[in-house]
Structure 1
């Protein structure tokens, strides 16, 4: 029966007129006719010869999309390639793949590596709403992880006779009131007691439960490397003889030997591209390079990093094996240099050599402004994988973006780099403020492990470090009481009571017009209106070793005005507010000649002189002057550089800031925001509006609402023993905000 079905499928698959969704539909029809006895909930043969669509031949038609993979010749199998590749199947909340009581997974695999964890089948979420099931390899072991109603996390593993480069049929069955059983080549190899019904937890921002083949769902990791075929999901625990029948019916796969990518590359990479990259002085410069062919496929040395595509880093000299023909090369070295774009021709046996000289756009370092990044990862939150960059590679990637200072969020494992024009250190992966219920924290210049069970601002004071609220997942106040969201809930306390000098308003996706950034700016302006001195920060928060890496380090960056390039000076500049944040445009802002963070005292109402200097290679759109959260002046963009002085009337104590919108570009973002200058008139305090106070009180109320439902929280959030401390500080913060109605704060006394 199976051989007939496979023959029909091949006849359809090799018909060039039947492709994409139509192929999936026809294959499903034939599968129903010839193979109905199997009745899987999903069946992915993985026998396409091209395209991104992965056909599900079951009646549920749960077709997937593959990324980072390649089809082997003739559609013999799908190859999962390092460093990242997987299949995503976007499913609704209530679908057949949510198997709470029992299931069986089967697949043919030919691993290219047996190093570390490699996911085969995953359904669910691995974050604050942890749920679902995971079938994986761990070296030479098969494993199953479940999140069940009876036991928060269930894990079972058993040694398996697996080998690199050899086809193996693997399977696992589970029954909630029975056991988990593992099989290899149709034979049982181990079992473990069951632990209850599997749970599935979608949430407000992720209304679907993720299903993947080849990596962890929802948070990409544990990537499988090798070939895969005949993946099936059954909604019941198959008997041993049924698993054996699945193996026997498809045993012909064990003799397949398709050409792998490594073999293909040896055959097609017959030419070589060489070159040198120089700065404006003629010296070799570390830069980011993208080398692609006519169809956009990227080439490079052994290590390719991710960033909306792929790039490699060169210390001024590169040599890359490429296919013969035309290639396009793109080189960048941060927004203070013009990018280079050019074409070259590669010939077999004749290396193509290119010398590229980068041209400066501007030099802010010469004016005391140093660019840095304080939130990025290169080892996936401290998890070292085979594909993870080394410390040296991570340092070079930061240098290549023309960053002056870099704080990677990892494990403080390697010695910091201290050079005349560049400093770099590890500052541990995001810390916690009351674990994950209070929000993640970006530690900068930290020397010891902070206590995650208390307020991060208290820890920042104790350790003499910067604790910057991580706004990467912050959206709107509407989800502050959603337990599945990792939000900066503790910021409402830290801002009014503590030592939180900076608020990250710019991330890699920020345009200044997107909903997340608009909310972050609105919240920031309200903190400022409450008399809280708070600077603007920019960050990227991505991972060099993940294909989901949105951008490279420094795409979202913070410029700091420094006396010298030391970590002590960086921390001092952040605390003083001598910073601006950007994804590309450069924005210098002064009031009466004073930099952001300064306090100007006026004896009486009057005018101040606002100076703006905006620069963007992509062209400027507009610059807006903000006073107390309102736009009071808009200057139209003119070309790539704009300098202007504007007289602004100040009637009472206020703060002034500026933001810049540039035109969209290929290499850099389009938004920048300067930190405020504070102006105190006749020693008056900063009087908040009632709506600003209400905003903070609503934030506190949402936080209390979350704490009132501990049944919605998991161990991931921390222990309820923290609640009394949180509630006590919420009471103090609430009292402080309420007091602003009668006793507003003075900027001069806020530190």
Structure 2
């Protein structure tokens, strides 16, 4: 219920209606003079049988720039300018605003209840929505909403109480599936069996590829407490093969889910099976130098973070990387960059275009040094941060001679139900790794370390260079020709491109009719014969059209590179090496100006790390 009063902030906390069986929001408020001053959103809470016994949540949201007095039954409150009050009422409650009574019955209209039974034959992601977009959920299930604001929940053979109004039921199961939908108007009082099964778009596991989300959280603030059953339902409902739930801090020293990490470190979580592996991992955090994930450590580290609650920004992240690697963990930088990307075609922008001047924005600033020293296994190019900016930095790093796998980490948080990408299901972006043998935490980590990966927001992507896939090494001679093929599958695919250290070398675009120049339907292929004039790399990328199944602003897919060595030499493109050296200079300046350090010796440790990295890059220039 909104009180008028000019330009007011958008209401917050307006919950979608839950099923009641007796009342639903009216299309518009009518009635008394007092009511004409009010528009309403009534969100019925836990339904009880019988009109007049049903309790519901009423949000009173003021758009006035002055105080107003509101009374609900026996409770009175003064709302300040643009204030809000969420209060529980029933149909007989008395609401008075500045002395004028508001009749709640004029905000309601009678309706009858029905019941849906949802069956897919396997765990899935479901949405049940009314014509106004409001969501309906099974009992005792968190009311989650994705990046687009769509309500969803996970499971199979579920019962949902709904109003006997027109509804739409949709079901999907992560990015390897399409969406099935059914529109219906249930008959009052009955239970309706809804059998829907989403169509599979591709099957990665039968090809030996398994998709993982290397950065998700069970709890990290949010509007509820995430429990293991919620994570299990999400992983199986999304058919996410690998889930890395990270223990980490937020703004102080407290490490969320530390107890779960201590209990389950080195072991699969109990809902794992032959094609689904879940582990507790670590997010190591410093907001000045960057955050990184650790997957499948044998034990908890001695340190989880630096620079919080007045702590020193010391030691460098490299110490944390070395410790976690010593514990057997796969490590990589997470949600790296939020700044605008350099020019996407020439990558001509300086590092200052990505190395944000905002000191503590979690950007992966130490990445360029740690990559040179071989301390990092991967980079989460697909993330809730800027995908174009991160992809541009990734190409610079690979072009400068660093061998990093491309990975994905969504930062999805089970304890959020409404927070953009944070409340998306885990696995809305994934890294697919080609595993040798059975899927285990160890075999998945080994595949990532070997660079046998691609990351995607949805499309399937294949790359072959002289018969070798991502992570492979082609040994050529100057003047040789290599054969390259890239294929993408997915309804959102707009273009496929082949890149080398020299930029885009070939591409294919889907025509407006849906067919591609080298493919048709949901498949698009590009082939090229490329002359090799020096050491390089080859990778493939997919550009996407907007699509409802893309749960972020940018649909994209990118492979790890196939490395092309020429006469025994690895790629070290001078322009990329100098770009990395410029980055290190900017980072040293940033540390000098903004780091919290106890004394010169701590600054000296940072400078020593940067000097080691400079030595690596300078050596590559001299080759």
What TM-score, normalized by structure 2, do the two folds share?
Answer: 0.75
Distance apart, 1:612 and its partner CA: 2.2
In the alignment, is the contact (CA less than 8 A) between 1:287 and 1:333 conserved in 2?
Answer: yes
Q: Structure 2 vs 1, CA of residues 314 and 553 (structure 1 numbering), >3 Å: closer, same or farther?
A: closer
Match of 1:708 among 592, 607, 610: 592
Instruction: Report the secondary structure of 1:733's partner residue.
Output: helix
2:194 & 2:284 partners in 1: Cα distance? 45
Residue of structure 1 in register with 2:322 after alignment:
458
Instruction: Report the secondary structure of 1:595's partner residue.
Output: coil
Residue of structure 2 in register with 1:489 after alignment:
365
Q: Does residue 401 of structure 2 align to residue 504 of structure 1?
A: no
2:569 & 2:504 partners in 1: Cα distance? 22
Instruction: Report the secondary structure of 2:232's partner residue.
Output: helix
1:389 & 1:213 partners in 2: Cα distance? 29
* Deviations 1:656-686 (CA, angstroms, capped at 9, x unpaired): 1011124332223642111101111111242
* Deviations 1:566-596 (CA, angstroms, capped at 9, x unpaired): 0001111111111100001100112122221
Distance apart, 1:274 and its partner CA: 1.6
In the alignment, is the contact (CA less than 8 A) between 1:502 and 1:537 conserved in 2?
Answer: yes
Q: How does 1:509-528 map to 2 (within 5 A)?
A: 516-528=386-398
Q: Structure 2 vs 1, CA of residues 269 and 500 (structure 1 numbering), >3 Å: closer, same or farther?
A: farther
For structure 1, the residue ranges without an aligned partner over 5 or more in a row are 1-45, 49-53, 91-95, 98-104, 111-164, 173-210, 215-223, 229-248, 278-283, 510-515, 744-751
Q: Which has the larger radius of gyration?
A: 1
1:86 & 1:667 partners in 2: Cα distance? 31
Q: Structure 2 vs 1, CA of residues 62 and 316 (structure 1 numbering), >3 Å: closer, same or farther?
A: closer
Q: Does residue 114 of structure 2 align to residue 271 of structure 1?
A: yes
Q: Does residue 131 of structure 2 align to residue 297 of structure 1?
A: no
RCO higher in structure (CA 8 A, sep ≥6):
2
Residue of structure 1 in register with 2:288 after alignment:
437
Distance apart, 1:472 and its partner CA: 5.2
Q: Structure 2 vs 1, CA of residues 107 and 498 (structure 1 numbering), >3 Å: closer, same or farther?
A: farther
Match of 2:546 among 646, 664, 681: 664
Q: Structure 2 vs 1, CA of residues 289 and 425 (structure 1 numbering), >3 Å: closer, same or farther?
A: same
Greater Cα shift, 724-733 or 674-683: 724-733
Residue of structure 1 in register with 2:407 after alignment:
537
Q: Does residue 532 of structure 2 align to residue 650 of structure 1?
A: yes
2:584 & 2:112 partners in 1: Cα distance? 60
In the alignment, is the contact (CA less than 8 A) between 2:127 and 2:170 conserved in 1?
Answer: yes
2:377 & 2:82 partners in 1: Cα distance? 41
Residue of structure 2 in register with 1:321 after alignment:
161
Distance apart, 1:335 and its partner CA: 2.5
In the alignment, is the contact (CA less than 8 A) between 1:371 and 1:404 conserved in 2?
Answer: yes
Alignment size in residue pairs: 528
In the alignment, is the contact (CA less than 8 A) between 1:292 and 1:327 conserved in 2?
Answer: yes
Q: How does 1:685-696 map to 2 (within 5 A)?
A: 685-690=570-575, 692-696=576-580
Q: Does residue 275 of structure 2 align to residue 421 of structure 1?
A: yes
Match of 2:174 among 334, 340, 349: 334
Instruction: Report the secondary structure of 1:581's partner residue.
Output: strand
Instruction: Report the secondary structure of 2:470's partner residue.
Output: coil
* Deviations 1:492-517 (CA, angstroms, capped at 9, x unpaired): 111111321211212257xxxxxx33
Residue of structure 2 in register with 1:66 after alignment:
12
Distance apart, 1:531 and its partner CA: 0.9
Distance apart, 1:258 and its partner CA: 6.4
Distance apart, 1:367 and its partner CA: 0.6
In the alignment, is the contact (CA less than 8 A) between 2:41 and 2:58 conserved in 1?
Answer: no
* Deviations 1:161-209 (CA, angstroms, capped at 9, x unpaired): xxxx97365899xxxxxxxxxxxxxxxxxxxxxxxxxxxxxxxxxxxxx
1:565 & 1:648 partners in 2: Cα distance? 35
In the alignment, is the contact (CA less than 8 A) between 2:381 and 2:387 conserved in 1?
Answer: yes
1:166 & 1:586 partners in 2: Cα distance? 60
Q: How does 1:243-642 map to 2 (within 5 A)?
A: 268=111, 270-277=113-120, 284-301=121-138, 302-303=140-141, 304-307=143-146, 308-379=148-219, 381=220, 383=221, 387-410=224-247, 411=257, 413=260, 415=264, 416-417=269-270, 418-428=272-282, 430-432=283-285, 435-446=286-297, 447-451=299-303, 452-453=305-306, 454=315, 455=317, 456-471=320-335, 473-476=337-340, 477-478=352-353, 479-508=355-384, 516-546=386-416, 547-550=418-421, 551-563=424-436, 564-618=438-492, 620-637=493-510, 638=516, 639-642=521-524
In the alignment, is the contact (CA less than 8 A) between 1:609 and 1:646 conserved in 2?
Answer: yes
Distance apart, 1:562 and its partner CA: 0.7
RMSD: 3.9
Residue of structure 2 in register with 1:727 after alignment:
607
Residue of structure 1 in register with 2:252 after alignment:
none
Distance apart, 1:431 and its partner CA: 1.5
Distance apart, 1:81 and its partner CA: 9.2
Q: How does 1:30-49 map to 2 (within 5 A)?
A: 47-48=2-3
In the alignment, is the contact (CA less than 8 A) between 2:212 and 2:240 conserved in 1?
Answer: yes
Residue of structure 1 in register with 2:54 after alignment:
none
* Deviations 1:320-339 (CA, angstroms, capped at 9, x unpaired): 11111211111111222221
* Deviations 1:716-750 (CA, angstroms, capped at 9, x unpaired): x999974332222122222332332213xxxxxxx
Q: How does 1:733-748 map to 2 (within 5 A)?
A: 733-743=613-623
Q: Structure 2 vs 1, CA of residues 696 and 257 (structure 1 numbering), >3 Å: closer, same or farther?
A: farther
